[in-house]
Structure 1
Amino acid sequence: MMSKKYVVMGVSGCGKSSIGAALGKALNIPFYDGDDFHPEENVQKMQSGQPLTDTDRQSWLKMLNELLSGPEALVVACSALKPEYRDLLRKGGQDIHFIYLKGDFDTIWSRHQKREGHYFNGSAMLESQFDILVEPNEQEALYVDIRQSPQQIVQYTLANLA
């Protein structure tokens, strides 16, 4: 039987890391924060307020695909903003369940302004993520409204996972 793989996706600041970690704990499987897999050049670029390009993301997405291709059940937080990024994460045929944390710009920007010590820098970068975001279709991902509390988000997600 194949192990379950979950990708918690959405723009920066939607709650991928905290929700992903809580899901991993609830499911008793490892959680990996995709941000930890960015090469140093990407981190430096984001720290300086520059959005990443598709080319910048390629090696990062390949690393996450390798992680997702392993035998273990796991949860990964990854923005997965475009269909081609999601296709690259799925490459090799593994069955990945995407959980899309959906929110509007104002809600997420207000959260960003309360964050400390994160390398994602500036409203222009968040705007760039919204600009390139191609929402998954509802057959591809479980949509979760981020205006709920983290506990409600996790409960809803667990109740609705395929």
Structure 2
Amino acid sequence: MMNRKYVVMGVSGCGKSSIGAALSQKLNIPFFDGDDFHPAENVQKMQNGQPLTDADRQSWLETLNTLINENDALVIACSALKPEYRNLLRQGNPDIRFIYLKGDFDTIWSRHQKREGHYFNGSAMLESQFDTLVEPNEQEALHVDIKQSPQQIIQYILANLA
């Protein structure tokens, strides 16, 4: 049977949550937003405009890995910025598929400025995510250009997961 575990990844504001939720509906499998699993200390740091460190992310990624291991099928939105983070998410799930929503700083920052009620605070935080990001290669993740409409993005993902 084809693997039914997907991580929709990329920097904050690339569309992980909205694309992940839409993809899960199309595939009829559960969706989880990784942001919902951050410990309170991480949320507090981000609200204060402080980028997270690898140490801050460790327990969060372990929690997400447990979630992945406990579900037969799911879509999870998670930044997964570094190979080490993706490796941790992949533990026990060697066939998990990463879907990388790829965009440039200006496109994503313009989206951020339209968001309301999100704890992610400031262009410096987004710059730190771009600084931290080690893009996955084409074998590790399906690369998706976020300049397309959400419908086009979903169609592209579904066509390329087959």
Q: TM-score, normalised by structure 1?
A: 0.97
Runs of 4+ in 1 over 6 A off after TM superposition: none
- What are the equivalent positions in structure 2 for 1:2-151 lying under 5 Å apart? 3-151=3-151
1:161 is matched with 161
Instruction: Tell me, yes or no, if the aligned pair for 1:81 and 1:134 is still in contact at 8 Å.
Output: yes
> Which string of whole-angstrom CA distances, capped at 9 and with x for unpartnered residues, describes residues 132-157 of structure 1?
10000000000000000001000100
Unaligned runs of 5+ in 1: none
| Shift in Å, 1:3 | 4.9
Amino acid at match of 1:79: S
Distance 1:55 1:156 in 2: 35
| Shift in Å, 1:2 | 7.2
Q: Percent identity?
A: 83
> Which string of whole-angstrom CA distances, capped at 9 and with x for unpartnered residues, describes residues 14-52 of structure 1?
000000000000000000000000000000000000000
Distance 2:93 2:148 in 1: 33
Instruction: Tell me, yes or no, if the aligned pair for 2:8 and 2:75 is still in contact at 8 Å.
Output: yes
Distance 2:34 2:95 in 1: 18
> Which string of whole-angstrom CA distances, capped at 9 and with x for unpartnered residues, describes residues 36-76 of structure 1?
00000000000000000000000000000001112420000
| Shift in Å, 1:93 | 3.7
Distance 1:136 1:94 in 2: 15
Unaligned runs of 5+ in 2: none
> Which string of whole-angstrom CA distances, capped at 9 and with x for unpartnered residues, describes residues 70-89 of structure 1?
24200000000000000000
| Shift in Å, 1:94 | 3.8
Instruction: Tell me, yes or no, if the aligned pair for 2:23 and 2:75 is still in contact at 8 Å.
Output: yes
Q: TM-score, normalised by structure 2?
A: 0.97
SS in 1 for 2:98: strand
Instruction: Tell me, yes or no, if the aligned pair for 1:68 and 1:94 is still in contact at 8 Å.
Output: no
Distance 1:117 1:132 in 2: 24
Instruction: Tell me, yes or no, if the aligned pair for 1:5 and 1:97 is still in contact at 8 Å.
Output: yes
| Shift in Å, 1:92 | 1.9
Computed over aligned residues only, the root mean square deviation of the Cα atoms, in angstroms, reads: 1.1
